[in-house]
Amino acid sequence: MPEGLTTPHAQKSLFNLSPQLKTHISLDLYIPLFLSPSSTSQHPPIPRFKKRAVIVVTIQKMAGLVVSSQCFLKLLLVVSVFHVSFAARRLNELVQDQSQLLHYHNGPLLYGKIAVNLIWYGNFKPSQKAIITDFVTSLSSPASQSSQPSVATWWKTTEKYYHLSPRKASLSLSLGDQILDETYSLGKSLTGKNLVQLASKGGQRNSINVVLTSADVAVEGFCMSRCGTHGSSASHLKKNSKSYKFAYIWVGNSETQCPGQCAWPFHQPIYGPQSPPLVAPNNDVGLDGMVINLASLLAGTATNPFGNGYFQGPAEAPLEAASACPGVYGKGAYPGYAGDLLVDSTTGASYNVKGANGRKYLVPALYDPSTSSCSTPV
C-alpha cells in the first residue's frame, strides 16, 4: 500500500497502543504515562507507570473472607511481589518493542544497482531540474572530507536496515532516465490512478520511477493529507512467466498551492508554532521543499518498497524510516523548530548536507535501527 508523506505537524504519534499496553489497561494494574522528551533529546517518549490502589480493594473483597490484619499484610506482601515482577516483565517487553520501532515484515527489499528514473510532468525550468538531478546523483557520489556532512553519508543510514534483513545485501541508487511530459497529457488535475499511469512510463526492472508534478498541477489529496507518496504497482513485464511489481514515488511542487504545509521550514507554517521561515539553499522554496519530500520517500521506498518491509503501525498508513522522525532536521529540534542547522555565510541559507556540483540541501532525520533514535546529519 502507498505511504503518504504528511506535514510534520500532522504526523501521528510514534507509539500507538501496543498489545502489551492494552493488557496493562485491561488488567487495571498500571496506567502508562508518556513523558515528553526534552528539546535536545532525539529519543522517543519513554513510558512511565503510576500504580493504582485497586488491588487493595480487590483483596479485601476476595471471596467474602474476613482475614486478620496480620494475614492481610502477608497476603498483600505476596501479591505485591507478583505485582512488581509482572510489571517489570511487561515494562521490559515494552522497552524491547521500542528499540525495534520499525519491524521487518519479511517482504522483499530493493537490492543491487537501482536506477532512479524521473518523470517530469508539467512545466519545470532547467535550473529546477538540475536541483533534483544533482540530489539523486549525490546519493551515491563519493564523499570527500571537505564535503561532509554529505547526502551520501546521510543515505548510509538506510543501509543499516539491509544489514538487519536476512539477505544482508546492499542497494546502490543512480540517476536513470528522464522522461518529459510538458504537454500535460493527463490534464492538470490528477488522480492516484493517473500517477501510476505516469510512473509506468519509466523502466520497470531494477528501478524506482519518480513522478514530479509542477506547481500548476493539482493531485488528489495533495495539500490536504499528503505532500507526496510512494507505492508499488504490477509491471506489464514478466519474469519466468511470473509478473512482478515496480516501485514508484510521486512528489508535487507546493510553491503556489501549500508551501506552509509541504515546504516547511522554508515557508511560514499555516498552523502550529510560528517561526520565521528559513532561507532555501537553492533559492527555490518549491524545489527545496520537493527535495525534502523526495528524500523522505526515497528512504521509505528503500526500506519498505512493497508495503511489507520495515515499518510500524498499519500497512496502509505506516511509519517508516523518515516519517518516524517528523519535523526533525538537526539536533535540538522541536515542534516549530527544525533543529540546529548549518548556515551559508554568503546567502544565509540553512542546510544540513552537501551534494554534487557544490549543492547544499536540507534532508530529514532518519530513524537509525542501530541506536533506536532519529539520526541527523548535523
Give residue 67's pLDDT band: very low, low, confident or very high (50, 70, 90).
Answer: very low
Q: Which residue has the higher pLDDT, 264 or 58?
A: 264
pLDDT at position 273, please? 81
Q: What is the mean pLDDT of residues 35-39?
A: 32
* Lowest-pLDDT range of 219-223, 241-245, 297-301: 241-245
State the CB neighbour count (10 A cutoff) for residue 179.
16
Cβ burial of 129 (10 Å; 0-12, 13-18, 19+) is middle
Of residues 321, 362, 367, 317, the one with CA closest to residue 344: 362
Q: Which amino acid is at 174?
A: S
How high is the pLDDT of residue 5? 56
**Torsion region of 259: left, alpha or beta (phi above 0 gives left; psi -120 to 50 gives alpha):** alpha
98 and 372 Cβ atoms separated by less than 8 Å: yes
Nearest to 3 by CA among 204, 209, 296: 296
Q: Evaluate if residue 322 carries a pLDDT over 70.
A: yes
Among 26-40, 115-129, 261-275, the least confident range: 26-40
Predicted pLDDT at 169: 84
229, β-bridge pairs: 4, 250
**What pLDDT is recorded for position 147?**
82
CA distances from 320 to 37, 138, 304, 316 (A): 20, 22, 8, 12
Q: Which of 314, 361, 315 is nearest to 341 (CA)?
A: 361
User: Would you state the pLDDT for residue 14?
Assistant: 36
What is the 3-state secondary structure of the chain? CCEEECCHHHCCCCCCCCHHHHHHHHHCCEEEEEECCCCCCCCCCEEEEEECCHHHHHHHCHHHCCCCHHHHHHHHHHHHHHHHHHHHHHHHHHHHHHHCCCEECCCCCCCEEEEEEEEEECCCCHHHHHHHHHHHHHCCCCCCHHHCCEHHHHHHHHHHHHHHCCCCCCEEEEEEEEEEECCCCCCCEECHHHHHHHHCCCCCCCEEEEEEECCCCEECCECCCECEEEEEEEEEEEECCEEEEEEEEEEECCCCCCHHHHCCCCCCCCCCCCCCCCECCCCCHHHHHHHHHHHHHHHHHHHCCCCCCEEECCCCCCECCCCCCCCCCCCCCECCECCCCEECCCCCEEECEECHHHCEECCCCEEECCCCEEECCC
pLDDT value of position 146: 72
pLDDT attached to residue 238 = 65
* Residue-level pLDDT at 240: 67
Whether the CB-CB separation of 351 and 330 falls below 8 Å is answered with no
Give 357-371 pLDDT, tens digit per residue.
999 999 999 999 999
Is residue 338 within 8 Å of 278, Cβ to Cβ? yes
Residue 351 scores a pLDDT above 50 = yes
| Average pLDDT of the segment spanning 289-309 | 97
Percent of the chain's residues with pLDDT above 90: 64
Tell me how far apart the alpha carbons of residues 126 and 12 are, in angstroms, rounded to a whole number. Answer: 37
Tens digit of each residue's pLDDT (9 = 90 or more) over 145-190: 678 999 999 999 999 999 998 887 889 999 999 999 999 999 999 9
pTM exceeds cut of 0.85: no
Gap between the Cα atoms of 111 and 206, Å rounded: 8
The mean per-residue pLDDT over the stretch 181-203 comes to 97
pLDDT digits (tens, 9 = 90+) for 227-268: 999 999 998 766 666 778 999 999 999 999 999 999 999 999
Q: Cell triple for residue 95?
A: 522497552
10 Å Cβ neighbour count for 149? Answer: 17
pLDDT, position 21:
33
Q: Which three cell numbers stand for residue 81?
A: 511481589
Q: At residue 90, does pLDDT exceed 90?
A: no
